[in-house]
Structure 1
Amino acid sequence: MNHAHPNSAEVVVIGGGLEGCAAAWALTRRGVTDVAIVERHTVGSGGTGKSSGVVRCHYGVSSLAAMAARSLEVFENAEDILGTGVGFHQTGYVVGVAENNVAALHASMAGQRAVGVRTENVGHDDVAELWPTADLAPFAAFAWEPRGGYGDAYQTAQAFAGAARRAGATLHQATTAKSVRTEGGRVTGVELTEGSTIATRTVVLAAGPWSAALLASLGIELPLTAHREQIVLIDPGGPIGPVPVFSDLVSLQYIRPEGTNRLLVGNSDLSTLEPADPDDYSDHADPAHIERTAERVGGRLPGLPAPAIAATYAGCYDVTPDFNPVISETPIEGLVVAAGFSGHGFKISPAVGTLVADLVLEGKSSDNDIPAGDFRLSRFAEGDLLTSPHPYAGAGQMR
């Protein structure tokens, strides 16, 4: 049920996806309960509903690893914290690299441990027990996160929204924000397409790839590319037993269980983007992508009983020039943006909410391992991009 549009709110969140709902939840936990979420369709109907839902803390960027580690605690305790489960399956997460990436793997793991990530080196025999159908010969080293796994991004967004509403926030679906109104360099309200305005002094803009146009109307550039990403679901043709998420940085793919009888396969090579209109794109994988996926999976998992393509889908990432998010104050007082998650958004969403609440209430991060400056919007104009000091050849964008 939607509430009638309010005349005013202490905070208006534009966007009812994962990050917007996480922000509303985090604000209510800090005592800011007069929060209005405006969503043009329904909660989780944009990129959130197309997320592959992988949960990992394996990042070379220390602040991202810390955000994933903090978020993992919420996924593990969702029923206590959010009042409901979020579909989290703690299968574990393994990443494997070739010889040219071994040094980067070890350096990344050291950085992850420094911010509280539980990660360990494992050998071929260990991984063979985890993935008995896999050909592991091309790999030189592996890292193992026993607390990793996968979850349901749509269910998580709903859980954030539900928790926020129980604390007093209001949700307004089928409600489109036309513009952010300002006066004298600060926020004064949000104008809706129907013509009404919600008066407010604080706006959190979390509208995914649609965020850039709203900012552009205010003279603020947010460099985003809507990138179409394709996913393939495979029927293995027989039981394969419990398996963890497998990040294959040799074939540049990731594979995770999907329920009990399918595998979800995604792409780890974003060196070439496929720009798309997030309002009008093919939501099924292309034949060429399906063929490449079949070749990669067949080469990596030759022991599958009788694999067959079960289904495909596609979604859009909102990608920044450095493949890392913007969670930032802006030149307009009272306007905070959380967008450009570049495929990382689900696994860090609880920490995103916390950082947004920090910026709204304090203007700085409350976590020394997650400096707000890392995610500032101005870094693009400054030429100071947020990149891993230990990039992986072939998959540096996503790690």
Structure 2
Amino acid sequence: MADVVIVGGGLEGVAAAWQLSRRGVTDVVVCERDTVGSGGTGKSSGIVRCHYGVPALAAMATRSLDVFENAEEILGTDVGYRPVGYVVGVGAPNVDALRASLADQRAVGVRTEEIGADDVAPLWPTAHLDDFAAFAYEPRGGYGDAYRTAQAYAAAARRAGVTIRQGTPVAELVVTDGRVAGVRLADGETISAGTVVVAAGPWSVPLLAAHGVDLPIVVHREALVLVDAGQRLGTVPVFSDLVSLQYVRPEGAGRILVGNSDLAVLEPADPDDYLDRATEESLELAVGKLAHRFPRLDDAAVAGTYAGCYDVTPDFNPVISATPIDGLIVAAGFSGHGFKISPAVGALVADLVTDGASRAEHVPEKAFRLARFAEQDPLRSQHPYAGAGEMR
């Protein structure tokens, strides 16, 4: 018996457990089928940014920065956050959208500004910048380690009294007369609870579908490329290139992690059985984009590749919501945004459990409701970027 059962021990599940424990709700059991952070969490590129065209997401991202910046005090350990800054560059068709988006971001507390090519050049001395028309800069942006962050949430929750059961797959939700009553584990054990939070990424879908709740998620395989720069880069910021549709971040002193920002066409995948590396085609595309953007990295070489899966909703934004089943809450469909907003996601889940509504300014629970899809009212950027609207 527990007050709350959380299905899924990835970032969002353990963030919710930790945030509940901060509210004094500690009779919580997290059921993780493998080990904490062993799913999509461990494949995150770890970008930290607040640059969103959806004000609620921008607000969640900026609220989350306080946790990353003060992790040792708040969580008891460093989580690998490196505030190297975040630059986003756009071409001429997206200048107006960039400026409108920056204004909206500042309105919800994001520290961000427009800068020029002369400002970016010293930050990334090896970059080719001539095809950009405008840039934005967040000094508090950067990157972190999603796996370490998940472990930190889990450890802090345990210290507060939360139970985290690893190697504990949930087979089904127990629902009685339209209300959740707990979960049944794969070994037949039942854990009774008045509230269940399903935060199991793509594995959330069948759990809800068994009770007639449609969670519209597509699993998309996405590869990342690790490049040996062939030289010491110094301290360079994360760079979101919305002309070539790629993002890069430093990985130590002399390596770059390269990701894709073009999700116009998804690559469906089985999250339990997918190719864990870049294909030759995607590698060739990534190398070409990188060579164009950083032509002075003469001795750069591919050091390795890996792949992970996004749980993507129709509007590329998460579901953090009550469901038609009383007491059942879902937090899934993060579409690649989950790490940077995870502290605020945990807080919103805790709000829904304890109050039924969001406590956070600029983060209305209505924005992330599951019902928006049936209502044909998707959560979209107010200022979408041509070519990269899915990620903004």
- Following superposition, the deviation at residue 374 of structure 1 comes to 0.2
- Following superposition, the deviation at residue 242 of structure 1 comes to 1.1
**Is 2:358 aligned against 1:396?**
no
**Is 2:134 aligned against 1:131?**
no
Q: 1:5 is matched with which residue?
A: none
Distance 1:262 1:38 in 2: 36
Q: 1:229-288: per-residue Cα shift (whole Å, max 9, x none)? A: 010000011112110000000000000001122100000010000000000000111011
Structure 2 letter corresponding to 1:329: A
Q: 1:83 is matched with which residue?
A: 76
Q: 1:8-27: per-residue Cα shift (whole Å, max 9, x none)? A: 11100000000000000000
Q: 1:3-52: per-residue Cα shift (whole Å, max 9, x none)? A: xxxxx111000000000000000000000001100000000000000000
**Is 2:83 aligned against 1:93?**
no
Q: 2:306 is matched with which residue?
A: 313
Q: 2:167 is matched with which residue?
A: 174
**Is 2:266 aligned against 1:264?**
no
The two structures have a TM-score, normalised by structure 2, of 0.99
| TM alignment of 1:1-399, pairs within 5 A | 8-399=1-392
- Following superposition, the deviation at residue 368 of structure 1 comes to 2.6
The two structures have a TM-score, normalised by structure 1, of 0.98
Q: Which moved more, 1:105-114 or 1:296-305?
A: 296-305
Structure 1 letter corresponding to 2:340: K
Secondary structure class of the residue paired with 1:200: strand
Q: Can you give the 5+ residue segments of structure 2 that lack an aligned partner in the other structure?
A: none
Q: 1:4 is matched with which residue?
A: none
Distance 2:348 2:163 in 1: 21
Distance 2:80 2:382 in 1: 33
Secondary structure class of the residue paired with 1:58: coil
Q: How many residues align?
A: 392
Kept in 2: contact 1:240–1:304 (CA 8 A): no
Secondary structure class of the residue paired with 1:189: strand
Secondary structure class of the residue paired with 2:370: coil
Distance 1:357 1:189 in 2: 18
Distance 2:252 2:184 in 1: 42
RMSD of the TM alignment (CA)?
A: 0.5
Distance 2:211 2:361 in 1: 31
Distance 1:126 1:261 in 2: 22
Structure 1 letter corresponding to 2:123: L
Structure 1 letter corresponding to 2:167: A
Secondary structure class of the residue paired with 2:304: strand
Secondary structure class of the residue paired with 2:181: strand
Structure 2 letter corresponding to 1:212: V
Structure 1 letter corresponding to 2:180: V
User: Equivalent pairs: percent with the same residue?
Assistant: 67
Secondary structure class of the residue paired with 2:234: coil
- Following superposition, the deviation at residue 304 of structure 1 comes to 1.1
Which contiguous aligned blocks of 4+ residues in structure 1 show a shift greater than 2 angstroms?
A: none
Structure 2 letter corresponding to 1:243: V
Secondary structure class of the residue paired with 2:339: helix
Distance 1:306 1:261 in 2: 11
Distance 2:151 2:2 in 1: 21
